[in-house]
Chain A
Amino acid sequence: MLRLSAASKRFHDDGPWVLKDIELAIPEHSFFCLLGPSGCGKSTILNMIAGFEAANSGTVAHRDRPIIAPGPDRFVIFQEAGAALFSWLDVRQNIEFGMKAQGRRRAERDPVVDRYLSMVGLADHVGKFPDELSGGMKQRLQLARALALEPQVLLMDEPFGALDAITRRRLQRAVRDIWRETGSTVIFVTHDIEEAIFLGTHIAVMTAGPEATIKSQMPCRVSEPRDPSNPEFGSLYKSIEELMREEMGDE
């Protein structure tokens, strides 16, 4: 369980509260989607879980241990893959980077790298550098290098926001398959309701900031296929859309 209790955050003393009394309980192995209007502080929650930023009050804890720093048990898939990947390393070296940093031997590393290379579908591109990959392939590479450390939690910050619709859908399927196969917990930040319903086992909707908090939490138990042809999908979509509309006002 990953838990935020009464977690509040502001960036300057005496500044406005960005997040106020966030209560989240994220079960192990869940695919937890955090939905909210732009600028509400979704990414800040993710950054606190990652350990990049500390809450000003309240607690953020993973398996009852307070989070004080980043660590390989919680790995972030950043939105801008080009900035987050290591441009001086090729595909294979990017994936084995973490294991090398941990001092693991080559014989130990190779099978892990091969496994995740094929899991994300990059086996034919091992010698390429990040700048030679398409946007979708860069995100696959980010996924693979994270998975190679077998983190308990994957934190994804609108990872497919910059991709075209078809690539986006393919990657959503890939992420869902990978989540099923690896059993890690995924915390997925998005502002796209459809994406959240397609992927999630749980959905939390945030209020608009400042002083943003969790407005509503619900399980997402829509049966397959998870697309608009399924009436369960449609009705969940409508109720979430209603919640979001309340927050965003009449734009």
Chain B
Amino acid sequence: MRTAAIRATSLLLLLALWETAGRFWLDPLLLPPPSDVATRFRELSGTGELWTHVAASLGRVIVGYAVGSAIGIVLGCVIGAVPVMRDFFSLPIRFFRSVNPLALVPLMILWFGVGELSKVILIAYLVAIVVLYNTALGIETIPADRVRAGRCFGLKGIGLFVRVIVPAAAPGILTGLRLGVGFAVLVVIGAEMIGASEGVGYFILLGRQYVAIDDIFVGLLSLGAMGVLLNQVFLLVRDRLLRRYVRTTLYGS
């Protein structure tokens, strides 16, 4: 309750500051106040133009995220559980972690064209790296006695992996999946700015070309809202369906 009140206060203060700045201090053409942005938002959503772009971005995020997560979990499990694989992949992972996916955009476009594929691949790439890294870390940080207990039960190989190692690594896997949501939203915009005919990133770029700063703000706000919303959906699923697996994160052991 107290947290909610503080969060609401922070949001209201920010809006008030923005409104004052846009109305009285700065040129409203450069910083349109939230009331103007809200008007523009209603116009754009009324015609459906905004939703076309949001839907396009959201679709890419969801597909890229799903593909990236699946690859990340599988590879992360292999790397975390098989020491040879850990050594084998450690250098490439460190390498690819430092290559900003936006730097790959030109290459993606040349290889896969300006269509959906290159954007989805870009999102999947970043999500996969984040998920893979946290999954492997989640497995490596399982307390040794938890695995030993599993072996006392007579488990080994795949049985041990499925019944003990994966659930015990779940906090790490879920951390990776949650970070992945944020990164997917981050990277989709960059991809859309370079080669797309719809999507929130494209819409923001259009705003720049027409010096429609209120459009840019509508785009930015939808972007932030998309991130917050997806994160809430993630937390809802985690806390409703997977709560038992994050108890060590939430309450300690």
Residues of B within 8 A of A146 (CB): 152
Minimum C-beta distance from A78 to chain B (A): 4
Flag if B149 contacts A78 (CB, 8 Å): yes
A223 proximal to B (CB < 8 A) = no
Q: Given A72-B154, A82-B253, answer yes or no on A101-B163 (Cβ-Cβ < 8 Å).
A: yes
A83 proximal to B (CB < 8 A) = yes
Flag if B152 contacts A70 (CB, 8 Å): yes
Nearest-CB residue, chain B, relative to A100? B163
Q: Given A84-B143, A131-B251, answer yes or no on A101-B149 (Cβ-Cβ < 8 Å).
A: no
Residues of A within 8 A of B151 (CB): 51-52, 69-70
A179 proximal to B (CB < 8 A) = no
Minimum C-beta distance from A117 to chain B (A): 18
Flag if A131 contacts B253 (CB, 8 Å): yes
Flag if B167 contacts A88 (CB, 8 Å): yes
Residues of A within 8 A of B153 (CB): 72, 97-98, 101, 149
Q: Given A83-B145, A84-B146, A88-B245, answer yes or no on A75-B152 (Cβ-Cβ < 8 Å).
A: yes
A50 proximal to B (CB < 8 A) = yes
Interface residues of A in 142-188 (CB under 8 A from B): 146, 149
Count, chain A residues at interface, CB 8 A: 31
Which of A69, A71, A76, A132 interacts with B149 by CB under 8 Å? A76
Flag if A86 contacts B164 (CB, 8 Å): yes
B248 proximal to A (CB < 8 A) = yes
Q: Given A88-B167, A130-B253, answer yes or no on A78-B145 (Cβ-Cβ < 8 Å).
A: yes
Q: Fill in one digit per residue for B142-160: 1 if any A CB lies within 8 Å of its CB, else 0.
A: 0111101101111110010
Distance of A82 Cα from B159 Cα, bound (Å): 22
Minimum C-beta distance from B253 to chain A (A): 4
Q: Fill in one digit per residue for B216-253: 1 if any A CB lies within 8 Å of its CB, else 0.
A: 00000000000000000000000000001101100111
Nearest-CB residue, chain B, relative to A50? B152
Flag if A83 contacts B159 (CB, 8 Å): no
Minimum C-beta distance from A161 to chain B (A): 14
Nearest-CB residue, chain A, relative to B159? A101
Minimum C-beta distance from A14 to chain B (A): 23
Residues of A within 8 A of B167 (CB): 86, 88
Nearest-CB residue, chain B, relative to A93? B244
A80 proximal to B (CB < 8 A) = yes
Distance of A132 Cα from B155 Cα, bound (Å): 26
A3 proximal to B (CB < 8 A) = no
Interface residues of A in 34-64 (CB under 8 A from B): 50-52
Q: Is the interface of B mostly helix, strand, loop or mixed?
A: helix
A102 proximal to B (CB < 8 A) = yes
Flag if B152 contacts A131 (CB, 8 Å): no
- Which residues on A are within 8 Å of B, measured CB to CB? 50-52, 69-72, 74-76, 78, 80, 82-90, 97-98, 101-102, 129-132, 146, 149
Residues of B within 8 A of A89 (CB): 244
Distance of A97 Cα from B145 Cα, bound (Å): 16
Residues of B within 8 A of A87 (CB): 168, 247-248, 253
Q: Given A87-B253, A89-B244, A102-B154, answer yes or no on A70-B170 (Cβ-Cβ < 8 Å).
A: no
Distance of A7 Cα from B108 Cα, bound (Å): 61
Flag if B247 contacts A101 (CB, 8 Å): no
Q: Given A88-B245, A130-B253, answer yes or no on A71-B148 (Cβ-Cβ < 8 Å).
A: no
11 A–B pairs (Cβ distance < 8 Å), ordered by A: A71-B152, A76-B148, A78-B148, A83-B145, A84-B149, A85-B149, A101-B153, A129-B244, A130-B253, A131-B247, A131-B252
Minimum C-beta distance from B169 to chain A (A): 11
Distance of A84 Cα from B153 Cα, bound (Å): 12
Minimum C-beta distance from B149 to chain A (A): 5
Flag if A83 contacts B252 (CB, 8 Å): no
* Top 3 A-B pairs, shortest CB-CB distance: A83-B143, A82-B253, A70-B151
Minimum C-beta distance from B93 to chain A (A): 27
Nearest-CB residue, chain A, relative to B149? A84
Residues of A within 8 A of B152 (CB): 50, 70-72, 74-76, 146
Residues of B within 8 A of A88 (CB): 167-168, 170, 244-245, 247
Distance of A72 Cα from B154 Cα, bound (Å): 6
Residues of B within 8 A of A101 (CB): 153-155, 159, 163
Flag if B248 contacts A131 (CB, 8 Å): yes
Residues of B within 8 A of A52 (CB): 148, 151
Residues of B within 8 A of A80 (CB): 143, 145
Nearest-CB residue, chain B, relative to A70? B151
